[in-house]
Amino acid sequence: MILPPNVKMTPMLSQYVEWKKKYPDCLLFFRMGDFYEMFFEDAQKASEILDIALTSRDPSKSIPMAGVPFHAVDNYLGKLVKAGYKVAICEQVSVPDGKSLVDRRVIRIVTPGTYVPEEAGEEGRLASINLLNDDTIALAMLSVNTGCLEAGVLKKEEALSLITGFNPGEVLIPDTIKREDLPVELQNFFILQRTKEQFTPDGAARWLCKIFNVPALSVFGLEEGAFDTGCAGAVLHYLEETQFGAIQHVTRIYPLREKHFLHLDVASQQNLELVSGDGPTLYSVLNKCKNPMGRRLLREWILRPLLDQDAINKRQNGVEFLVQDPVVRQKLQNLLGECRDIERASSRLSLGTGNPRDLAAIRDTLLLIPLVYGYCKSSPLEKFISSDNSLETLSTLLASALCDEVPRHLHNGDVIRTGFNSELDSWRELREHGDQWLDQYLEKEKAKTDIPKLKVGSNKIFGYYLEISKGNLDKVPENYIRKQTLVSAERFITPELKEFEEKMAASEQEIASLESKIYADLVQHTLEHVQKIQDGAAMLSCIDVLASLAQVAWERNYIRPQINNGLNLKIEGGRHPVIEATFLDLPFVPNDIVLDGDEERIALITGPNMAGKSTYLRMAALLVIMAQMGAFIPAAEASMGLMDRVFTRIGARDELSRGNSTFMVEMIETANILHNVTDRSIVVLDEIGRGTSTYDGMSIAWAVLEYLDHGCGSKPKVLFATHYHELVALEDHLNGLKNLSMAVHEGERGISFLYKVVDGPADRSYGIEVARLAGIPPAVLKRAFHLLETFERADEVKPSGGVMETSQQIQLFPVSSQAIIEELAAIDPNKMTPFRALEMMYKITDQCREELQSHGNT
């Protein structure tokens, strides 16, 4: 940092500058009493981002200063890390004595990926990646919130979908990789380069084995020497570095393997609005969870549907039990609503940022686990739970040690329950009954001295004293020591009063010291059980999600889909879960989806816009995702083979920041689908080719259908909505394609949409009718109908042996006629003389006659 000239360096300011030089890339929060202060450039940046006052420490205003109260620091840290800043927390580590400079030390670094606030949110997510080749990525993902560390080597698309769904605050990469070399999906994240040595598999493996106290990482299911080991080591080393070794809550590594989860690429996550979007999402519809742990897990289940039929059935059994037993479901949800976020609480305690309320949250929740276990026992839910006596022992300890209601900050006192520690009790007894002791002592001294008006008092200078009027000075005992003379009285102290004063002065400090020590011991004892606490949290979150899915299923009449190993997809009376839940006052028209693995696996859907094509497509994808995450689905009946991938190309959007137009985005997403489909993929394509000219777009759509039918080497199930009605003739030429359409009712007042999918193609698109419904002026509609008739007479497109045949494109106006019209349009009659107007009339008349003669007219 560069100091302004003529700055007077006080000892405190020198201390600040010393720590700032050690952490130049961080904003330095410098603890001064009840505030964290910032100076110089840090103060200027923070005042702008946090919207706080910028003041000065000196009259010359050469030392800009800004500060935030320490008890509300979480709010300010959250704003700074969201803006991409790192913050070094420089704490006071010695007790101020008013004489010497307070010792200070940076105790942690808060970064966009490591910040874990007291209130639940999406903060505290780190990822690290290593690009192995064009098609493979090694990655590790660490949820600092929960201590969950995952690592694997995956295909590029699968790795990117996991990372974008994880939404890390920071992504670590080796310094051998340039930011611009990263896939575009990652370039909007905060990227941090680390030394390539931290990503070395062998070195990382040795360090991780030491951290986790295991002989080899194979105990976690990781392969020796694999690059994901290097990523896991890099991400955990970064957490240890920024939190100064506080990583006790990370207890193991979970392997990420291909084909563990149904693959949802980045585009599908966005197109289907699974967990985020401008409006309601699948997550918002399914979320009836009662605590933050369940809400986090529900989000994960949605983004990672299962590929294991037994695991899906296990979840479905749990949901079914809770649907059928509403009494148990309600009681469980009531208990789960009382549970606190113990994953987050234990992580904060491990990171050194926790407070007494985090410890109380663990106590309160551990006391509830046996009750939850009781309702799950002897039911399908029992497979999701485990009982552990060590947690019962811990909950008993915390219940006996902590007050029922604890303050947020330890220094506020009354954290440790009376009766837990006898020494603490004695000091509290002294503090709380000091007035009573003084009253008793005063009465005793009155009787002993025979001074009825003897008074007791205290002030900051002399402490406690006895005050005697001058008329009674002859009765003062020898052991009284004179301290102050007043006009009408004198003040004395006694050895007993002095001892009481010293005890009272020491009581607050002793109480604070003892509470601090007992609290630290309780935290340490709790962290010794952190893995068991995390296991308990996992059980509670799982039961919470199952109860949430059951509640939604019960409220909305969902059914249990049958999952099998076949290739068919059959849904009767399916309903779109988000639209149905959003428009509660309108009935939803159910539709069937029937696709097999061979002769009817491609459905070509035609019909007018706004008639429900996109809803139908999205419904199919969402119901597959819901079924494979273990949820019940909105349908009358459903059976389906396991899908391994859901691909969607829906909607129109630009990515101008990446130089991609709407059509380019459409083609990139379509290319990804065509390169990666399998026999167990479901592909949802909406209006392919609309971003370019009619014939270009139709040609692309045609070719895509042919490729999915017989050119890709696989037999995916496809739902293909289009406005190119010419494509319906492909049913006669492609073995796996069938035509579906959106039903429309035509009446005297125009058309109405029935939102029903029926067999067979639509006879026309009704685009102009839709324009009428939208309020387009009648003159425009009339002209459009005229042009449509012209096009339909003069231009046809039809398949012939798999080849597209077209007539020559018509011209709306002959070239010369167009020139006459343009010339007339350019005339301004107000600026023409009568002679010039007559001259122009003759000229145009001659041109029109020539035009008529050229077309054989007279």
The annotated binding site for ATP is made up of 607-614
Phi-psi group of 45: left, alpha or beta (phi > 0 → left; psi -120 to 50 → alpha; rest → beta): alpha
Please provide the size of the chain in residues.
858
* CA 538/CA 545 separation, integer angstroms: 11
Give Dmax over CA atoms of the chain in angstroms: 146
What 3 state SS string does 63-122 have?
CEEEEEEHHHHHHHHHHHHHCCCCEEEEEECCCCCCCCCCCEEEEEEECCCCCCCCCCCC
> Per the annotation, where are the binding residues?
607-614
* CA 792/CA 789 separation, integer angstroms: 5
* CA 514/CA 611 separation, integer angstroms: 71
* CA 470/CA 486 separation, integer angstroms: 9
Characterize the bridge pairing of strands 253-255 and 148-155. parallel
Characterize the bridge pairing of strands 35-39 and 64-69. antiparallel
At 790, the amino acid letter reads T
Partners of residue 602 on adjacent β-strands:
718, 737
Partners of residue 194 on adjacent β-strands:
174
* CA 800/CA 789 separation, integer angstroms: 24
User: 3-class SS at 177?
Assistant: coil
Q: At what angle are helices 767-774 and 778-794 packed, to 10 degrees?
A: 170
* CA 835/CA 127 separation, integer angstroms: 81
* CA 112/CA 77 separation, integer angstroms: 10
Question: Which tokens hold the place of 39?
Answer: 């100076």
Residue 600, CA distances (Å) to 65, 597, 607 in order: 71, 7, 20
Question: How many CB atoms sit inside 10 A of residue 742's CB?
Answer: 25
Judge residue 798's burial from the number of C-beta atoms within 10 Å of its C-beta, 0-12 exposed, 13-18 middle, 19 or more buried. Answer: exposed
* CA 646/CA 608 separation, integer angstroms: 25
User: 3-class SS at 585?
Assistant: coil
- On whether the CB atoms of residues 3 and 40 are closer than 8 A, the answer is yes
* CA 294/CA 297 separation, integer angstroms: 5
Question: Which tokens hold the place of 660?
Answer: 């991609």
Judge residue 34's burial from the number of C-beta atoms within 10 Å of its C-beta, 0-12 exposed, 13-18 middle, 19 or more buried. Answer: exposed
Characterize the bridge pairing of strands 602-606 and 562-564. unpaired
Nearest in space to 457 (alpha carbons), one of 488, 422, 492, 482:
492
Characterize the bridge pairing of strands 104-110 and 87-92. antiparallel
- On whether the CB atoms of residues 291 and 344 are closer than 8 A, the answer is no
- On whether the CB atoms of residues 140 and 121 are closer than 8 A, the answer is no
Identify the DSSP state of 762.
-
Task: Mention every residue, 6+ apart, whose C-beta is less than 8 A from residue 748.
Answer: none
Judge residue 282's burial from the number of C-beta atoms within 10 Å of its C-beta, 0-12 exposed, 13-18 middle, 19 or more buried. Answer: buried
Task: Mention every residue, 6+ apart, whose C-beta is less than 8 A from residue 592.
Answer: 570, 571, 572, 573, 574, 757
Partners of residue 570 on adjacent β-strands:
594, 639
